[in-house]
Structure 1
Amino acid sequence: MQNYQLYTDDALLTLLKIDDGQAFNEVYNRYWKMLFSLASSRLRNTHTAEDIIHDVFASLWKNRKNADIHSLQHYLASSTRYLVFKVIRKNAHAHQYAPSDPDIIFEPENSLHNKYLLEFIAREVDTLPEKCRMVFKYSREKGLTNKEIALEMNITSKTVENQINKALHHLRFSMKKILMML
């Protein structure tokens, strides 16, 4: 049995074009939380957000053979955004989508945003070179000081500082890419 979680988006797209249902399931599992979070953060009605996500994935499956998709994540996010704005435009009373108390109404969605963000950061940290990843985890997860990390890893404090800066630069760059898609 193949582990579709290990496949890249491009590989999954190729499998979708040959009607691989498991590839579609993996795409769905990989992106539905992000898309639901995106849709529900702009709409007051979670049922409408769910309908939009359903429509996005139905469209992906329907157009899987002919769609010219370069970035699966960007394609799905753009499709979701388009359908959200279409729903808002259709609604003659668009003001009902602007909550009077956003902290109360969007709290579950913010929690979804935070969960997705933490998952994204964890995946990005795992892509760092080993030394950089270890230094970053010692610093952020274990709360060690630069000096403690230097002693633990038998490297200089300056190297620790450089590795943390490298990790933060990588994360900032990755975050900019994902925020541009949303």
Structure 2
Amino acid sequence: MDTEELLFNIQKNDSEQDFATLFHQNYERLFRVAFFYLQDDEMAKDVTLDVFADIWNKRKTMIVPRNFRNFSFTMVKNAAINMLEKEQRFSHDELPESDNGALSPSERLEQSELFEVYEKALGELPEKCRAVFMHVKEEGLSYDETAQLCNISAKTVDAQMQKALKHIRSAIEAYMKHGDEQAKRFLLIFL
């Protein structure tokens, strides 16, 4: 069953089973987005679960999005940024001392800007190229699995991946300053 059918059944029939399916299909991807912004497992888990709770609680009044992937990504991103902004309001004295290497709220906001560069570059890709990239990088499919799913050859998948990676890397490199650690971390995590 595709996502659109799941959302329809959730909205019209209060289908908890379809909601559970939607949750399991999307949780890991959305958790990774939240974690990228927050750099904290518990906070990322809270944000991701809150977004799913909002979807369930607003299921009757929610306008079913055409692209749930983008819709849910934006919800998680906004929730994570809101959490960071709330953290940012605390003075430095009120923040607990941390020696575990976690990012400060201002570093997280800088990282969120970098993620927006990535998101924009991804949106600039041709649809076929973006779909191949998402299957491989977001869903973790192999080149062969992606080729079969998209009805193309594994060689075409490889060519599309090279095109996508080149475009995204150049966008990130244009954004970052020489030696920017945040950008290097981003490239390692997502590319």
TM interval, shorter chain, is 0.5 to 0.7
RMSD (Å) for aligned C-alpha atoms: 3.3
Which residue of 1 is the match for residue 149 of structure 2? 127
Letter in 1 for 2:148: D
Aligned pairs, number: 126
Q: Deviations over 1:32-66 (max 9, x none)?
A: 00011001011122111110011100000011121
User: 2:37 matched to which residue of 1?
Assistant: 42
- After superposition, where does 1:1-182 map in structure 2 within 5 Å? 7-17=1-11, 18-68=13-63, 69-92=65-88, 96-97=104-105, 98=107, 116-119=138-141, 124-129=146-151, 132-133=152-153, 136=154, 164-165=155-156, 167-168=157-158
Note the C-alpha offset of 1:127. Answer: 1.6
2:141 is paired with a residue of what secondary structure? Answer: helix
Larger radius of gyration: 1
- Name the TM-score, length of structure 2 as normaliser: 0.55
Q: Partners in 1 of 2:158 and 2:85 — Cα distance?
A: 39
For 1:67 and 1:90, locate their aligned partners in 2 and report how far apart those are by CA, in whole Å: 26
TM-score by length of 1: 0.58
Distance apart, 1:172 and its partner CA: 6.9
Q: Which has the higher contact order (CA 8 A, sep 6+)?
A: 1
Read off the aligned partner of 1:14 and give its amino acid letter.
Answer: F
Q: Distance in 1 between matches of 2:23 and 2:142?
A: 16
Partner of 2:100: none
Residues 27 and 122 of structure 1: is their aligned pair in 2 closer, same or farther, counting only changes over 3 Å?
Answer: farther
Asked if the contact 2:143/2:158 (under 8 Å) is kept, the reply is no
Q: Which runs of 5+ in 1 are unaligned?
A: 1-6, 103-113, 137-163, 177-181
Shift of 1:70: 1.7
